[in-house]
Amino acid sequence: MRTLRASELGSFLFCQRAWWYQRQGVAGQNQAELANGTAFHAGHARSTKQALVLKRAALFLIILAAALAALQLLR
């Protein structure tokens, strides 16, 4: 017995006919829209990763500034 993936269940619940076509190997007519969506999500993922790196850099700089301020107070 073949295992169903969660994405297949989602496709089936959204549109049973589209799910059936997909299982038969028939390509959808909205390939350009799918490609645009994939490109959008890839760009969003890059932006999210960049935001995480910048957040970590900011936290590091705040901790560094606090440590330097504490050293100045101890002198």
In whole angstroms, what is the distance from residue 57 CA to residue 52 CA?
9
CA distance 18 to 11: 7
pLDDT for 18: 87
pLDDT digit string (tens) for 14-57? Answer: 999 988 998 899 988 888 999 999 999 999 999 999 999 999 99
In residues, how long is the chain? 75
